[in-house]
Structures are given as C-alpha cells and as structure tokens.
Structure 1
Amino acid sequence: MVYYSHATTPVIFGGLLVLYYFSIPFALIMWYGRYHAYIKKRNFRLKKLAAYLLIAVFVTSFSAYKVAGIYFNIHSPTGGTTCYTSSCVLSARSLSQYHINTTELEKLGLPRLGPMEVYMVRDKGTDTETLMPKTMDYVAIVRPLIVVPAARVDVYHADERGRPWKKSFTIVWPLQPGSVLTDKLKTEFTVIIVTGGGKGGGV
C-alpha cells in the first residue's frame, strides 16, 4: 500500500536525480574545461576547483535530501513537515495526530538545527529478507549534510505501545537513495511516478 496522492512527477524526480548524480562530475568538467591551459602547466587553480566543488557538494547533498524525502512521502499519510529546529519537530502536527510519544522521541536524540523534513511513516510494505508483509510505523527525519555530498536519515519508533528505538544512517553520493533506504530499513522502497495523463509507475 502506498499513498498515491503523494506521487511525484518524472520532471521533479528525474531532475533531482540528475542534480544528485551529475553535479560533482559537471563541476570537475567545468573546472577542467575552463582552466585546461593552466592545468597543462601544472597550475591547478585549486581555489577555483574548491569553489566549483563546494557548490556541487551543496547541490548534491540537497538533492539527496529531497530524493529521500520523496521515497518517505509515498508512505506517509500526512506528507512531510519542513523544520529548522528540534522544537519544530516535536510540535509537528503529524506527530500529535498519530499520538507519538514526543518525550521518548526527544530522549532518543533529535537534530538540533538546520533544514530537515519530518515524515510520519505509516504503511504496509514487504520485508526484503522474509518477503512477508511488514508494518511501517515510525517517524523519519531527513536532512542534508551540506558540507559533504550526503543526506542524513534518522528513524524513530516511539509510540506508547512499543519499546523506543532509533536508527541513523547516511545516504552518501553516488549511492542510490532508494537502495540505501531499502537496505537499511529492510523494506522495499519505490517511488510512484505520475505522468501528465495520470498514469503512474514505480521506480
């Protein structure tokens, strides 16, 4: 089961994947093309290279964050909530709507500052190890790491019935974000793509 109303479009998803995979190679090509004559003379213009890579790393990190969010969004009944502080996370409407124990959530440790997207994931999936149906019931927080080409994912299970736990991992370029989520959470993650005619497919 997925929430089809949260499907994305090929332009948005494809564009983000292009930015994620090719920003760093494009930065290197731009640097080499522009300063080829200097590089041949072993004048590598490293400050220029650093500037190109700084921009590329930021774009890559932000793209990884957005792509991971799309994967979670398809399994979230409420969609994502954008936050910049831990207090915003604790007051997120989706958490109160599903009676999440925010005290336990806070004890597990929340990101303090910076852009982050909060998802209340509640769905049925398939366990990748047993191939049996699996309940997805947790809070996921995704954030870009900005200074490295990666996004951080923190997953919390802190409802009033179960023992609280936290699992954190990093999606590092050039790993495929959906594959990392599938591997770490042992649940098959796909994206629903909706075309102009309303037909969709999984990715």
Structure 2
Amino acid sequence: MKHLLWTLTASLLMISCGDFYQFGEEPDDWDGVSMRITNAESCVMVGDSMPLGIEFSDTSKIGSPVFWMLSDPNIAKLRNDTLKAHQPGVVDVMAIGGNGHLTDTCRVRVIDRWEAGDFHRWHPSDMVIYADISIDGKPWDSSTMMIGAFVGGELTGLAVPREAFGIPYAELRIWAPTNQGQGKIDLRCYDRENFRLYVLRDDIEYDAYQTLGTLSNLYPIKFER
C-alpha cells in the first residue's frame, strides 16, 4: 500500500506540475526491462552525502533519466541524484524511471555522527585495546572507515591509527561512565566510502583499566558482513 501511495504521489507531482519533472521524449520500449537501486541496506552518517545509483537489466538503458523521492525530508534531502543525511532515522528511497514505467525502492539508515569529544572529562576510567583491525579480510583504512566503541548504547571511544617501531596498529581507548562500569562492548565500523555499517560479532566485556593486546601481539578485531 505504501509503495502504491508513493507511486500515485509521484505521478500526480509529475502530471500536475509540468516543469517539476519531465521524462524525455523516449519511445516506450521498456517491455521486459527492470531496474534496481544499488543502495540497498546502505547506512549514512549525519552530514555525509551518498550518490544514488540504478542498474537496468538492459545495459543499453544506462544513463536513462531517473526521478528520485524520499519518504521523510527531515531525515535526508536530495540534490539531483545524491542523498544528504540530516538526522538519525530510517528513510525510504524511491526511484522512478523507464519513462515512468519502472519503480524500485530501498531503505537507508541514517546514524548520528561519531564525535570523540572529551571522553576523559566525563568518564573516570578506561580500557585500552591495541588492535589489528580488518574489514572483510582487508586492513582497516582509517581514511575512509571509522571504528566506534559503544557501552550501553553510548559512544565511549574511537579507534586511532598508530605506528611504533614500524608496526602499524589501532589504539582503541574505551571510557566507561563509572569505575565499576561493566557490560558488553559493542564495536562498530562505519565505511563512509561504501556506506555500510559493520557490527563486530565477537563478545568483548568492558573491564576498567584492562589492556588487551601488545605491540608484539596485537588483539585481532575482524569485521565481516
């Protein structure tokens, strides 16, 4: 029903306002052609922009015009074929193409920004992990990926790339609300190049003042889809 309402709304917008969007004078040779949004299951951090993409089953249709719609303009906004994330939430994206004959939808999650802040001012104790981080079997690229640590749903640490004696590693200092802070550490990786959010499957318990890993024996952290 929601998909139908979106389609009707889009049709009314295009019909009632001729200069709002108008497909080119293309022949209606779209029989048997399908299209797919390539941004399915994407995750975008507030402030980031994600290009929207389409794949047609008929490669000769590549470059055909596509009209985009969002279910909630408060969560994200559109600029041509780019989505700009504004506030946390979930937004549905609809694409209309094929001279108005084809539609597809996907859901995009928008997450709040991960900002370091002065963790030590608000959290009296910390735990440190000296880690070797990999994502889908590849080394962590700190220029395009953020690693955040959450305890009780609260961001309490961000991984920082380090190097000592020629050894590259990640330092993850995790702060807890109290000296007796306990609970599972939820490690997440945000890939701002491919717009994916990874969640570590391994269980790591928070233990104030504990250190995991050394330069000679880094603690392995492996994110996988």
TM-score, normalised to structure 1, is: 0.24
> If each structure's strand is expressed as a fraction of its own residues, which one has the higher value?
2
Instruction: Name which one, 1 or 2, has greater alpha-carbon Rg.
Output: 2
